[in-house]
Structure 1
Amino acid sequence: MSTPRRAVTAAATATLAVALTASLAGCSSGGRGGGSDADRAAPPPTTAGATGAPAPTTGPRSSAPNACDSKMPGEVMTAEEAVVRFSDQQVCPGYVTVALGTPVTWRNTGQATYTVTIKDGPLPTSAELRRERVEPGASVAVELPSGQFAWTTDALEAFVGTVEVQG
């Protein structure tokens, strides 16, 4: 393999890794390129660290009314944070991590009734564990056992989310 081809392959691999990480941590907008500019989180502010290099700090991700504040996979959410908002336009967040005993809530922000299906394992082909119909504006809260669970909704049929329950 020639050097330019290796560089292109490495760049493509890095781009795919960044896109996958962003997808796991954030939202899906039904294949519409990641939502509007208002839905995208701004990069975190930085301050100079001891070595002079920028050190990341935490702060609000976005002040937009429909913004998706999500955490990276493995960062535990409280019951108040573990609310998945979904419609035929967007699902957010796509990856939820909670401690054992913490419910995950699915809130239908769309105009139609949709079904949320929770799988008994991490793959979308896993057996069905639970299926809930959620009316427009309604929510359903579910406590799951320890493990990793794929979930889908007919609001965005190609989307597959994940709930990770630690403990």
Structure 2
Amino acid sequence: MLGAVAPERPARPRVTEGTPQQVANADIQAFNDGIGARFYVGKYLLERAANEYRWLDNLRESPVPTALIWGLQDTPNPPRIGNHIWYNYLDKRPVESSYWLLPTAGHYPQRDEPEEMAGIVRTCLEVGIPTPEGEDAFMRTLARNRTATSPVYMGRSIIENVYFPGAVAYSPDGYSF
């Protein structure tokens, strides 16, 4: 349809009254039609309910190193959910993963603590997750500069070679027990 014009939405006045948190949240909702996006959030919630376990199983099988970052103040998804995901889906993957808690962040840690979040990403990409042997020194370094908002390193994945006692292996040279 050439020449079609999107219907205009009536302008809404900017919220200027309330607590700073209420005004900031109103700005976030007003930006880029955040209020209109609620339909898509509802659609996502239905999709998540239908596919959650499949997504988590795919996360466990993914070859991509993962940093699980959870806000300790997250009320929609409390830290026990992060712990469940870590211990059941990420902790024993064959690829390196790490688990971090942000003590003063909620459901949106990238909004609540952007500097701390960026610090975790930089650490994972530039410094890397410590080996089990280097973990003590890594923890001491983190503790030395700790503030109330500093991330808490919970640990790294335990990468284990799978061993099946009594299994018979075959190679062109024959069987080995």
TM-score per shorter chain, which class? under 0.3
Higher helix share: 2
Between structure 1 and structure 2, the one with the greater Rg is: 2
